[in-house]
Amino acid sequence: MRTRLYRDGALAAADFPPAEVSDHLAQPASVVWLDLCNPSADDLDLVADELDLHDLAIEDALTARQRPKLDHYGGHLFLNAYAAHLNSATGELTTSEVSAFVTSQALVTVRKDDGFDMSAVLARWDESPELARYGVGFLLYGLLDFVIDGHFQVVESLDEEIEGLEDLLFDPRPRSTEVQRRSFELRKSLVVLRRIVLPMREVVNALMRRDLHVVSEPMMPYYQDVYDHVLRATEWTESLRDLVTTILETHLTIQGNRLNEIMKKLTAWAAIIAVPTAVTGYFGQNVPYPGFGKPWGVVLSLGIIVGMAAVLYAAFRRREWL
């Protein structure tokens, strides 16, 4: 467990026992942050007793793979979100779930594993100490800003990966298997990313509601900036999904065109090869014909073969079949 105490907009204490949370909150102008990583039911029961949290919210915090959401309870809010990271080598998207209990004086974050980098969130809080006087709204902003920026970075990385996929698509050397495998990986990652990014619009929009009294007026522009990033990440994700689909369709079209080109070339060469077959078949008849049994008959047959083959080759080249 990690803890912090802010009093009058300044960091007053850190890493104190969770049992002291209620004592600190009893003091005026105090805001407490508590972080738990993979907590047990007993750990959350202790926090619930300190902050009077709802049983259903505790159950959601203990259950993995909850959807991104913001639930309203009598004296607090429950938020669930996901941080995302893209493996550029494999195109695989990994996610880390984080939950948060939001009260008027406390923020409790619950991480399912160590994949969520809480140190980066602390760094964001420390970078803007002048905003700490806005209490829980400031702490929640730092958490959401880190999560949404992570989504945006993943979308940018996926965009770069798709550009690389376009280069493979038009490579002179056919790389069909690699294009199909990479397209499938990126499309799967985009589906997962859309599942965790799209609901964040509703989450941030709900937090900005005046009746919740979570975001004070000075913090509203910061939340609007986060909301703008959510919208951009969502729209970008949707466009990339369409782009991957277009790439797959283009890949199939290119394969069809290449097959047609191959068939044209094979047909042209087959026509050229048919000429010597026909000529030698004619001159191979066991009947008298012009040049039969004469040396110049061989020359005549060779001349016909070469001449007709050259005419066909020139005609096919002119029509760009060869």
Instruction: Residue 233: count other Cβ atoms within 10 Å of its Cβ.
Output: 26
Does the structure show a pLDDT above 80 at 74? yes
Does the structure show a pLDDT above 80 at 285? no
Average pLDDT over residues 216-244: 92
Phi, psi dihedral angles at 7 (to 5 degrees): -130, 125
Average pLDDT over residues 121-128: 93
Name the amino acid, one letter, at 187: R
Task: Answer yes or no: pTM beyond 0.75.
Answer: yes
**Whole-number percent of the chain with pLDDT over 70:** 95
* Band (264; pLDDT cuts 50, 70, 90): confident
Determine which of 105-114, 155-164, 188-197, 249-258 has the lowest per-residue pLDDT on average: 249-258
The pLDDT, as a whole number, for residue 155 is 93
> Which sign does the torsion angle of CA 9, 10, 15, 17 carry?
negative
- Give the orientation angle of helix 295-318 with respect to helix 220-283, to 10 degrees: 160
Instruction: Residue 75: count other Cβ atoms within 10 Å of its Cβ.
Output: 10
Average pLDDT over residues 33-60: 90
Judged by DSSP in three states, 283 sits in helix
* Average predicted confidence (pLDDT) for the chain: 87
The pLDDT, as a whole number, for residue 267 is 83
The pLDDT, as a whole number, for residue 253 is 81
- List, for residues 2-42, the tens digit of each pLDDT value: 999 999 889 999 998 888 888 888 888 899 999 999 998 88
Token code pair at residue 111? 């991480």
3-state secondary structure 178-229: HHHHHHHHHHHHHHHHHHHHCCHHHHHHHHCCHHHCCCCHHHHHHHHHHHHH
Name the amino acid, one letter, at 226: V
Average pLDDT over residues 218-222: 94
The pLDDT, as a whole number, for residue 127 is 92
* Cα–Cα nearest to 112, from 33, 35, 194: 35
The pLDDT, as a whole number, for residue 95 is 94
Judged by DSSP in three states, 118 sits in helix
- List, for residues 77-110, the tens digit of each pLDDT value: 999 999 999 888 777 899 999 999 999 999 999 9
Determine which of 45-54, 182-191, 304-313 has the lowest per-residue pLDDT on average: 304-313
